């Protein structure tokens, strides 16, 4: 069954910074998309960017997206709150979400986490080693232990996220910092994978193993539910487990009204 | 060391519904506060309500509160977003938070969870049995297994919350439903305990064991950190682990500006 | 790819107790196997029992088994320790394991858990309701919420197991008890699913939804690793991440020998 | 209330290797004990060693011990299985257990974990940085982020343990490896803390911050239960939640006996 994937890229650095354009002539979003197509033969992968109308994330587009992949950095604040809420509803209803690198500070990730999602950082060409902490996890399959990334931006703990449902990878950097670089979360009916390697200043999204992990994450994040559905508050009569009733309000008619 | 506790109650049902006023003549918030004082001799417990200016939750009040206890139901929507955000910042900075019963649907709990926090329900005098799933947890100490609550509102799964950091209690109801009734979460530097028993229509907050659990939760939720501090994003030079620098922006001067 | 499944049944109750033989004329193990075949078209399902040589669990058999399903009750103590250890090594090396009902007290489950695995119980035809706590989990797909089992043996908390990696189901019983009835664990390179419904005195393994869950569990438990491998202690030279060396002993030649 | 702590040390390296005797003239066990006394004023700390009768771990000694601290390395195999089982029963009954460094491969830790507890290693004077992943945890209080240990034995992932209940610290080493160095587990009624820093070849147990963490761990591991009690399997009649009955056997008299 076709796996519909949409890669959302901010596409600002590529416009403004020549050195980024050199590393990612097609834009980070297209590079990430190519990596997914390479690894998942049944995936139909599209891309869209911040500057499209509605940031390319209409309700129709989201309804047809099994997994959304998010890369943002310089313009988190420009993402429209209405669109963020739309994406949020779709994730809670069953759309998978992959959040990459600086996406840790995106509105959508923060909304789903409920924390600041802050961390420590430095961009000085540290070597990153991505170690597998959960060797039987589907996301960890097909990559070496460790994945070696010669030049990367350092991200370090304390990474202010809720305790991940599953910790798949932990990275170290030349400077000695460590970071929980591969984490899964379930929110509502949606599955989320956060993966930190990647930065506009380094060719990380061309890295064979990074592309493999992102593809594994996309495959994992697709829902097992038969259809999209938002968890809802319903009332159930005694012994009737299968017919819920909508909420009519918290206060009964006041007796002394 | 004095433990400063503030019990926030909506105090609407008590005004509008005589049968609630009968069960809780001092208001639910005062009843809950009395239960905490009974069990924690070093606690200084105050109360405040929705209709106070700023809902009684000024920055000064919050800064002096070690643990905030929250009960709301009919008027979640009336809680000012600015106040919600203020409470949120304080929790992430180290203020403990206890969320009770229908508080599952409060703005503050939803913001910290990142999910709908919906559930199934029925108010038909089910008997609730609160079973201990984590017998060595400090919150579970000093209460029977199970806690028997003769009349209660039923809450049932699927309770749309993130997987709790710790599952302390699971309840069953006469009708057969089950619910994760005692859950802990850490968000930022704050500790949160959600405890479901309690409803305006039943005298649950007079129940000896329910009062004991709430007090245990308050004691547990007090921070171990020396002072309140919000997790922050900082840059760290190589080999300088202890001096972080503020964030100056994501984009360097464009070379072709 | 063929999924090789082996259902291990104690097959003692069926011999000794006529009422059990009536409910399970082919034995519980064959009934469970039939349920798996019904639901997994690519599964090749065999059965074996306690009284076979080596309990039917030779190294060769285990090496060819992707997932082992275990039901035991009256004769846990008769399972040979050497065989238990053999199964243990295979699970840690990647063989999946499904433990059913009274198997909670089997030697193999206890060895993998490290706890007493005790619980509370009663066999008085309680109705069991199996509620889904993790609706997006693959094991929870395709069954109603709740699964209704008209007559069952009650299992109640405190179930002395380590905190499960994932809590999939929680059950309630007519008497009011609750139990964490569907739990996953990873041990070494192996995946384990414990599912409590089922008892020799009730026709639970003929129940459509119970058979579906067991099949889901079997499918989930199959390893994603390319081959079976036991985690091993190895020494690694600096900067050589991929060539581990065997352990030669903890003490160097004493300088004053 | 006095906290009774017993530090168990193998005390073999100290006898055999002069360089170890130089670093730890009183033995590692006495050094560790001194660190605990320094940090916990209400602790009464004793030590014992492998070569004592019953390894110093009689039932009477264990019954009077609130928290047992374990360091072993070269002689894991010499610890008597009967004594291991005795310690195991006491931990499951409520005795706290701190396992240090090479104790990862002790019989007692392996029995409680149910896995191989293997890892990768190298002893080449790597610098270890111990980073706090859970800043609000009591065990993480009062130490810098990171703790800097100039010379240490490297331990690296994949550390074959079950997913920890709580991940408190993650370490990095000069060579780039990472390791989950501070982990908590609950087993039965007992609390366990595993902390990896420390090795006979380096003066780690003299390190101020390492001593602080061990003391924090000891304090955390003391039970909150009123008395020691092993989880037990009991039968409960319908509606009688508080009077359990002992297990009388799995098979009723065969009807056709």
The per-residue pLDDT for range D92-111, each reduced to its tens digit, is 999 999 999 999 999 999 99
Distance CA C212, CA C40 (A): 9
Model confidence at D255: pLDDT above 50: no
Q: Which of A78, A73, A64, A3 is nearest to A33 (CA)?
A: A3
> H or E stretch including C16?
helix C13-16
Q: Which of B137, B166, B191 sits opposite D136 (nearest CB)?
A: B191
CA distance B34 to chain C (A): 30
Residues A185, A190, A192, CA angle at the centre, nearest 5°? 35
Q: Sort out which chain C residues have CB atoms less than 8 A from A137's CB and list them.
A: 224
Residues B119, B125, B131, CA angle at the centre, nearest 5°? 65
How do the pLDDT tens digits run along chain C, 257 residues long? 899 999 999 999 999 999 999 999 999 999 999 999 999 999 999 999 999 999 999 999 999 999 999 999 989 999 999 999 999 999 999 999 999 999 999 999 999 999 999 999 999 999 999 999 999 999 999 999 999 999 999 999 999 999 999 999 999 999 999 999 999 999 999 999 999 999 999 999 999 999 999 999 999 999 999 999 999 999 999 999 999 999 767 764 433 32
How do the pLDDT tens digits run along chain B, 257 residues long? 899 999 999 999 999 999 999 999 999 999 999 999 999 999 999 999 999 999 999 999 999 999 999 999 989 999 999 999 999 999 999 999 999 999 999 999 999 999 999 999 999 999 999 999 999 999 999 999 999 999 999 999 999 999 999 999 999 999 999 999 999 999 999 999 999 999 999 999 999 999 999 999 999 999 999 999 999 999 999 999 999 999 767 764 433 32
Q: Which of B33, B30, B31 is nearest to B43 (CA)?
A: B33
Q: H-type helices in chain D, by residue range? A: 13-16, 18-23, 28-39, 59-63, 81-93, 107-113, 208-221
Chains that touch C (3 or more CB pairs under 8 A): A, B, D
Q: What is the pLDDT of residue B49?
A: 96
Q: Sort out which chain A residues have CB atoms less than 8 A from C191's CB and list them.
A: 136
- Long-range contacts formed by B234-240: CB under 8 A, 24+ apart: B234/A120, B234/A121, B235/A120, B235/A121, B235/A122, B236/A120, B236/A121, B236/A122, B236/A154, B236/A156, B236/A175, B236/A177, B237/A122, B237/A124, B238/A122, B238/A124, B238/A126, B238/A174, B238/A175, B239/A175, B239/A176
- Best of A144, A174, A176 to disrupt the D interface (most D CBs within 10 Å) is A176
CB neighbour class for A177 (10 Å; exposed up to 12, middle 13-18, buried from 19): buried
Q: Sort out which chain A residues have CB atoms less than 8 A from C166's CB and list them.
A: 165
Question: How many helical (H) and strand (E) elements, i.e. helices and strands, does chain C have?
Answer: 7, 10
Q: What is the pLDDT of residue B188?
A: 98
Q: Sort out which chain C residues have CB atoms less than 8 A from B177's CB and list them.
A: 129, 131, 172
Q: What is the pLDDT of residue D54?
A: 97
Interface contact C233-D120, CB threshold 8 A: yes
How many CB atoms are closer than 10 A to CB C244?
16
Provide Rg for chain C, Cα atoms: 20
Nearest CA in chain D to B96: D136
Question: Hey, is C76 helix, strand or coil?
Answer: helix
Confidence at A251, pLDDT banded by 50, 70, 90: low
Interface contact D170-A178, CB threshold 8 A: yes
- Best of A97, A135, A238 to disrupt the C interface (most C CBs within 10 Å) is A135
CA distance B96 to chain D (A): 11
pLDDT in tens, A113-152: 999 999 999 999 999 999 999 999 999 999 999 999 999 9
Which residue is listed with tokens 């009964």? A252
Interface contact A119-B73, CB threshold 8 A: no
Q: What is the pLDDT of residue B251?
A: 62
Cα C192 to Cα A156, C222, D3, distances in angstroms: 33, 10, 38
CA distance A136 to chain C (A): 6
Interface contact B144-D242, CB threshold 8 A: yes
Which residue is listed with tokens 């002394």? A256
Distance CA D65, CA D59 (A): 10
Interface contact B160-A188, CB threshold 8 A: yes
Q: Which of A72, A233, A89 is nearest to B114 (CA)?
A: A89
Q: Sort out which chain C residues have CB atoms less than 8 A from A144's CB and list them.
A: 241-242
How many CB atoms are closer than 10 A to CB A52?
14
- Best of A50, A101, A114 to disrupt the B interface (most B CBs within 10 Å) is A114
Interface contact C16-D113, CB threshold 8 A: no
- Best of D157, D171, D177, D182 to disrupt the A interface (most A CBs within 10 Å) is D157
Interface contact B224-D141, CB threshold 8 A: yes
Distance CA A86, CA A93 (A): 11
* Dihedral pair phi/psi, residue A45, rounded to 5°: -110, 120
Q: Sort out which chain D residues have CB atoms less than 8 A from A171's CB and list them.
A: 178
> What's the token pair of residue D65?
């011990």
Tell me the CATH class for C3-232. alpha beta
CA distance A178 to chain D (A): 6
Q: Sort out which chain B residues have CB atoms less than 8 A from C163's CB and list them.
A: 134, 166-167
Nearest CA in chain C to B162: C134
Interface contact B135-D189, CB threshold 8 A: yes
Cβ density class B11-43: b for 16+ within 10 Å, e for less: bbbbebbeebeebbeebbbbbbbbbbeebbeeb
Chains that touch A (3 or more CB pairs under 8 A): B, C, D
Which residue is listed with tokens 């949409």? A6
Q: What is the pLDDT of residue B257?
A: 28
CA distance D182 to chain A (A): 14
Nearest CA in chain D to A135: D158
Q: Sort out which chain B residues have CB atoms less than 8 A from D241's CB and list them.
A: 129, 144-146, 148
Size of interface A-B (CB pairs under 8 A): 141
Q: Are the C-beta atoms of A162 and B187 separated by less than 8 Å?
A: yes
Interface contact D118-C232, CB threshold 8 A: yes
Q: Which of A115, A120, A234 sits opposite B120 (nearest CB)?
A: A234
pLDDT in tens, D30-46: 999 999 999 999 999 99
pLDDT in tens, D169-180: 999 999 999 999
3-state helix, strand, coil in chain C (%, to 5): 30, 30, 40
Interface contact A131-D171, CB threshold 8 A: no
Interface contact A146-D176, CB threshold 8 A: yes
pLDDT in tens, A44-81: 999 999 999 999 999 999 999 999 999 999 899 999 99
> What's the token pair of residue A167?
């910790």
Distance CA D84, CA D10 (A): 14
Q: Which of B127, B135, B170 sits opposite C178 (nearest CB)?
A: B170
Half-sphere exposure of A223 (CA within 13 A, CB side): 28
Model confidence at A255: pLDDT above 50: no
Nearest CA in chain A to D134: A158
Whole-number average pLDDT of chain D: 95
Interface contact B136-D241, CB threshold 8 A: no
Distance CA D199, CA D202 (A): 6
Beta-bridge mates of residue A121: A155, B235
Distance CA A63, CA A90 (A): 7
Provide Rg for chain B, Cα atoms: 20
Interface contact B224-D145, CB threshold 8 A: no
Interface contact D175-C121, CB threshold 8 A: no
Percent of chain D clearing pLDDT 90 (strictly above): 94
CA distance A119 to chain D (A): 11
Model confidence at D229: pLDDT above 70: yes
Q: Which of B135, B172, B180 sits opposite C158 (nearest CB)?
A: B135
Q: What is the pLDDT of residue B250?
A: 72
Q: Are the C-beta atoms of D137 and D165 separated by less than 8 Å?
A: no
Confidence at D253, pLDDT banded by 50, 70, 90: very low
Interface contact A162-B160, CB threshold 8 A: no
Interface contact C132-B157, CB threshold 8 A: yes
Q: What is the pLDDT of residue C176?
A: 98
Q: Sort out which chain B residues have CB atoms less than 8 A from A156's CB and list them.
A: 236
Interface contact A92-B115, CB threshold 8 A: yes
Chains that touch D (3 or more CB pairs under 8 A): A, B, C
How many CB atoms are closer than 10 A to CB A239?
7
Q: Using CA atoms of C161, C164, C168, C172 in order, give the dihedral in degrees to the nearest 10.
A: 30
Nearest CA in chain C to A92: C136
DSSP C205: G
Interface contact A94-C191, CB threshold 8 A: no
Distance CA D255, CA D257 (A): 6
Chains that touch B (3 or more CB pairs under 8 A): A, C, D
Half-sphere exposure of A220 (CA within 13 A, CB side): 25
Distance CA D186, CA A234 (A): 36
């Amino acid at each position: 069954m076709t796996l519909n994937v949409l890669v959302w890229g901010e596409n600002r650095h590529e416009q403004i910074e020549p050195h980024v354009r050199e590393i990612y002539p097609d834009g980070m979003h297209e590079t990430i998309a190519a990596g997914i197509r390479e690894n998942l033969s049944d995936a139909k992968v599209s891309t869209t960017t911040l500057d499209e109308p509605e940031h390319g994330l209409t309700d129709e587009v989201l309804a047809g997206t099994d997994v959304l992949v998010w890369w943002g950095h310089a313009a988190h604040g420009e993402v429209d709150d209405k669109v963020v809420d739309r994406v949020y509803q779709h994730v809670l209803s069953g759309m998978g979400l992959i959040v990459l690198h600086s996406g840790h500070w995106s509105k959508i990730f923060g909304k789903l986490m409920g924390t600041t999602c802050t961390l420590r950082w430095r961009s000085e060409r540290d070597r990153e080693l991505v170690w597998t902490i959960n060797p039987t996890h589907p996301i960890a399959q097909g990559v070496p232990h460790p994945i070696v990334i010669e030049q990367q931006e350092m991200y370090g703990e304390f990474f202010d996220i809720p305790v991940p449902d599953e910790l798949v990878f932990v990275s170290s950097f030349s400077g000695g910092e460590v970071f929980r670089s591969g984490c899964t979360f379930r929110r509502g009916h949606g599955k989320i994978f956060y993966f930190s390697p990647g930065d506009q200043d380094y060719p990380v999204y061309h890295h064979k193993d990074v592309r493999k992990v992102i593809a594994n994450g996309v495959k994992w994040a697709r829902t097992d539910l038969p259809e999209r559905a938002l968890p809802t508050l319903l009332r159930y009569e005694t012994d009737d487990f299968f017919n819920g009733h909508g909420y009519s309000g918290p206060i009964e008619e006041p007796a002394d009204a």
